[in-house]
Amino acid sequence: MGLFQKLISHEVADGDVMPQVEQYINTGRVRQGYELLSQAVQKTNHRLDWLELHWSLAKRMNDGDNGFVTAGKLLRYFLSKKEGRRAYMVWHDCLHGFGKRFPVMADLKLAELLMHLRMIEEAGAVVITALEQLNASEPALHVQKLAEIAAVAAPAVLMEKVNLLLRLPQLTPVEQHAIQAAAHKAMRRVRAHHADSTIEVLEDEDEEYPDSRFDVSYVKLETIVAWGLNISTGHGERKLIAYDDIVEIVVAGIKPRSGQPFLLIDLFLDGRNVMHTERRVIRIDSKRLNPMRVVSGAKNPLDAFLSIARDIHSRSRRAVIVPSGELVQQTLPMFSSLDEYENALGG
């Protein structure tokens, strides 16, 4: 042991190290003060002044390993005192400052406290991180509780991950049922959030969107999940189209006299007797979607695109309308223009 380390050990053994630490810091010897305090905090979980100063210095010294140990003590302390905001700031700085994550159990306790304090946005951030860490070793009850919190604090994320959660082997039918109920709750919240909003048309400076007899929104399909379709709208925003919102599905191909042919899936959100001037349509076309990215193992883009249409149909249980031909075939009715296609559909 070197002379400096012996001095540190002697100072720690003598009791309160804070006066010496402060003297080191005030005279510009921050490293020495930090090392002295690092030894001191190893022996305490309750000296809040020591722990907070050490955590502050650890961030200043970019010492993620020692800082994370102290952060864990601070997190447990703040959780025990029900100080949600201070606990969250420790959690946040660990994740975003050092890339350090606490165990799922700690995330769960923090998320529960934040929900109790009505800090919904912060609880959502914590529960999203916890969901990303879940594996087969996590107790089933923890998985269920995280899903139930996510249904309120991060409903769209739960919608994306519910299929993965339900496949965890440790879940019994009881937990699976609870997670499914949480997913239904999340779906209702997502739908309610977007009930008064319209789907933005994707902006592309190089493309002019054609006129339509319908109220068409061009979107990109991201993923197909248990309760709906995750789509990308303008400015990269993601939204969920719930299957219950879909009234009809139309599948067709467009082969213009000039230009590349393309396929489309139209999801009608209004019936034919709607009182609006124009029926609302979510349009997914092969110009904006590589279907092979969504459907693994497909033989070709046409096969993949039809597979997507069948999947939406089977999950939504909505009628599929093909102007001519059958969806089960590997051929689709082709039209020379969108006008011809929409005229064939009628109102």
CA distance 304 to 307: 5
Per-residue pLDDT band at 106 (split at 50, 70, 90): very high
User: Please, which pLDDT band fits residue 251 given cuts at 50, 70 and 90?
Assistant: confident
Identity of the residue numbered 13: A
- pLDDT single digits (tens) 128-177: 999 999 999 999 999 999 999 999 999 888 988 888 899 999 999 999 99
Percentages of the chain per state (helix, strand, coil), in multiples of 5: 55, 15, 35
Contact 244, 188 (CB under 8 A): no
- For the beta carbon of residue 266, count every other beta carbon within 10 angstroms: 21
Cα angle 267, 269, 271 (rounded to 5 degrees) comes to: 110
* pLDDT class of 70 with cuts at 50, 70, 90: very high
* Beta partners for residue 217, in sequence order: 282
* Residues 236-247 pLDDT 10s: 667 778 787 888
Q: Please name which of 191, 100, 179 lies closest in space to residue 140, comparing C-alpha atoms.
A: 179
Sketch out the chain's domains with CATH numbers. 3-193 (1.25.40), 215-345 (2.30.29)
Token pair in block for residue 259:
């230009």
